[in-house]
Amino acid sequence: MKTFILIIVFLKCGSLNAQVQWAPNQSQKVPEVIDCSIGDIAVARAQPYPHIRFCPQAAAEINSMFPGAGHFYYVHEYGHILVSPSEVAADQFAATQLAQLPGSYYYINAMVSHLYYRAQNGEGPHPGYGTPLERANRILAAAISANPNLAINSSTGLLYEK
């Protein structure tokens, strides 16, 4: 029995690839509905009841370029559900939550890489977000203030564990 449990733990750790994914607790969880008509990776809706609509194909697409970025979007949507409709607050929620889970700054780095890429492609500001670079800097600042063991590598602009 002990061996059996150890094997399960081993397999689970292997599949997690050393990063812990954020998950809502029982009191935070809302229905998550698959919907690719949203034209986005995920959106949070307050009506007719609080829920999240997400598109697995859109998430797979972003993950194929920036592995793990889709998970940041998922946590961001929960930020809307649990904290505020504000994009800044939802990003802050996602960065703060992920910065505090073991190894999960991985997902923040994926999102920040995605934002650097968008900035390099000349993407301008969006209402509620500012420019991709402003958004990346806010996310990094929130991560660092949530976990003092994280720092920014000055040559890559990505987080690492001190």
Q: Please count the residues of this chain forming the interface with Zn ion, following the rule CB under 5 A.
A: 2
Q: Shortest approach of Zn ion to residue 86 CB, angstroms?
A: 8
Q: Shortest approach of Zn ion to residue 76 CB, angstroms?
A: 5
Q: Shortest approach of Zn ion to residue 2 CB, angstroms?
A: 45
Segment lying near Zn ion (by CB under 5 A), choices 32-40, 53-61, 80-88, 148-156: 80-88
Residue 43 sits at the vertex; the CA angle it makes with 89 and 14, to the nearest 5 degrees, is: 85
Alpha-carbon span 80 to 46, nearest angstrom: 9
Q: Shortest approach of Zn ion to residue 141 CB, angstroms?
A: 18
Residue 146 host element (H or E) = helix 132-146
The 10 Å CB-count burial string (b at 16+, else e) for 41-65 is bbbbbeeeeebbbbbeebbeebbee
Between 41 and 87, whose beta carbon lies closer to Zn ion? 87
Q: Shortest approach of Zn ion to residue 10 CB, angstroms?
A: 37
Between 126 and 149, whose beta carbon lies closer to Zn ion? 126
Query: What residues are paired with 42 via a beta bridge?
Result: 54
Alpha-carbon span 98 to 96, nearest angstrom: 6
Segment lying near Zn ion (by CB under 5 A), choices 60-68, 90-98, 117-125, 147-155: 90-98
Does 75 sit near Zn ion (CB under 5 A)?
no
End-to-end CA distance of the chain: 38
Among 62, 75, 90, 98, binds Zn ion (CB under 5 A): 90
Which residues lie near Zn ion (CB under 5 A)? 87, 90
